[in-house]
Amino acid sequence: MKLRRPTIGFWCVVAVSIVYWTCAGLRAAYRPFWYDELVTWHIARLPNVAAMWAANLSGADNNMLLSHLFVRFSQALFGPGYLATRLPALLGFWIMLLALYIFLRRRLPVPFALIGMVFPMLTFAWPYAFEARAYGIVLSCAGIALVAWQNAVDGRARRISLVALATALAVALACHPFAVLLAVPFGLGEVVRSIERRRIDWPVWLSFAAAAPLTLLYPMVVAPTVTIDLHGLQPGYSDLPGFYDAALKTAITPLLGAGAAAYLLLRLFPHHHADEEVKNTFPSQEAAALLGFAVAPALLICVMMASTNMVLFARYGLICVIGLAGFVALMLFRMARGSRRAGWVMFAIVAAWLTMARSREAKSGALDPHAQFEERVPVLARALADGRPVVTDDPLLLAESDFYESDAAVQRLYYVKFDIPRRYPWRDWCDRLVESCQRVIPLRAHAEQWQTFSRRYEQFLLYSGGTRQWIYDALLEGGWQVTLVSHQGQDSLYEVRAPAGRGLQGALR
């Protein structure tokens, strides 16, 4: 059997993969862990699977168990380091890129499929390629499911494709509850297809349904968090354009540059185009599925507007980059009037910008993670070196400092819980987060009630990131003397002294 020679598209995919693994791999190896990743790290290192599942049910994490099992397996092979902990996410994001290329290449010429492939690396999805969470894995499952669905619809290895479709969706649902958003693109795409065919493709719908029972586990996992008071933190209508602005703002510059270059090329060489290829685009069901990927986060935001127990984080809508990648590739294809030459120019510009930006970022971040953490919070570092107790209003920083700081320093770090009647956005969430954190992470830092802390210390330092005011306000209301000591960026450090009459502590019950 004669082997086919590798095509230029193949070598471009290899080149993109080398850029990806080099830049994302360096970021994965040196970027400091943040709170969510530390939760992943600790859960993956629990004694057994039963303990890991118990940690999930305790409210310590809203990721499903399978994502932690992937990390546990990676750490078993390569150790508990940064790169090994983030390897499942790295691999998952790369698989999503490959799946995007395969999906788009069947409908568009090579250069435009390549642009669609690299597009997610230009967007807000990029940092989640090297974050030890479920998002990279979910994206890989979405990409695999999209290609498997395309295969099943086109009749390519249909039985295997249907099994792959069900498996990919099941893995996604077993990794993160927000993987339920995948029901939007695949449901919409198959509904459009059923309407066009005037009959239902039951094997495809059964593949969808085969993964659905995993959602029965969700109530147990999210039950500890549904009682958290997030009043005042619900997204609003302004978050709809805000979400897509955040998703696309880092991609606009290279895409505009590519579009401008193609326009000039077509103006200078008007005969270098192939209008007949412009008609060869996505079938209606695939266009509907891509639209579903793109708008799924908007539907999520609308649901969250009506809830006081949900808060929007952009990462929950990462699957939108798959739909946006398809539409960007199609838009540039039409802009180039089917010209492959213009497509290669576009791809070269986008790839060059991507390589320079991501390699510069990776090089600048290839530093000792502990030093990077200290550089990120210099005000806190100076406070911990002072010798007095330090109170922080940030539960994320509490866990991160606990991981990176020395025993002597972290023993002076406290998170204090105030029983105050006034409602502050984030207060209940922060208190509950610390409680959940203590169930999973063996904290050396302290978390205790204000009454206990204030009886022991008459003066201390208060470190604030500037986004949560309840501790500062409560201290002033209780008569404590609060003096600004240091301020840098959003970080502030205050010296706090007890009021002249200790009876005023009663105001801070």
What band does 300 get if pLDDT is binned at 50, 70 and 90? very high
Residue 64 has pLDDT above 50, yes or no: yes
Residue 484: strand, helix, or coil = strand
Which residues, listed in sequence order, are joined to residue 497 by a DSSP beta bridge? 459, 481
When mean pLDDT is compared across 84-93, 158-167, 222-231, 240-249, the lowest value belongs to: 222-231
- Alpha-carbon radius of gyration of the chain: 26
User: Which pLDDT does position 506 carry in this prediction?
Assistant: 45
When mean pLDDT is compared across 83-97, 166-180, 329-343, the lowest value belongs to: 329-343
User: To which H or E segment does residue 450 belong?
Assistant: helix 450-456
User: Which pLDDT does position 254 carry in this prediction?
Assistant: 94
The span from the CA of 38 to the CA of 222, in Å, is 19
The span from the CA of 45 to the CA of 37, in Å, is 12
Region 328-351: what's the mean pLDDT? 91
| Contacts (Cβ under 8 Å, ≥6 apart) of 267 | none
Residue 58 has pLDDT above 90, yes or no: no
User: Which pLDDT does position 272 carry in this prediction?
Assistant: 57
User: Which pLDDT does position 504 carry in this prediction?
Assistant: 42
The span from the CA of 295 to the CA of 324, in Å, is 9
Query: Tens digit of pLDDT for each residue in 111-142?
Result: 999 999 999 999 999 999 999 999 999 999 99
User: Which pLDDT does position 507 carry in this prediction?
Assistant: 43
Quote the tokens at residue 92: 């998952």
Query: Tens digit of pLDDT for each residue in 244-284?
Result: 999 999 999 999 999 898 888 887 776 655 544 556 589 99
Residue 310 has pLDDT above 80, yes or no: no
The span from the CA of 259 to the CA of 350, in Å, is 10
Quote the tokens at residue 349: 């510009």
Region 144-156: what's the mean pLDDT? 97
Region 427-443: what's the mean pLDDT? 83
pTM, two decimal places:
0.93
Quote the tokens at residue 431: 């208190």
Query: Tens digit of pLDDT for each residue in 313-323?
Result: 889 999 999 99
Query: Tens digit of pLDDT for each residue in 393-414?
Result: 888 899 999 999 999 999 999 9
Q: Chain-wide mean pLDDT for the chain?
A: 89
Contact 207, 153 (CB under 8 A): no
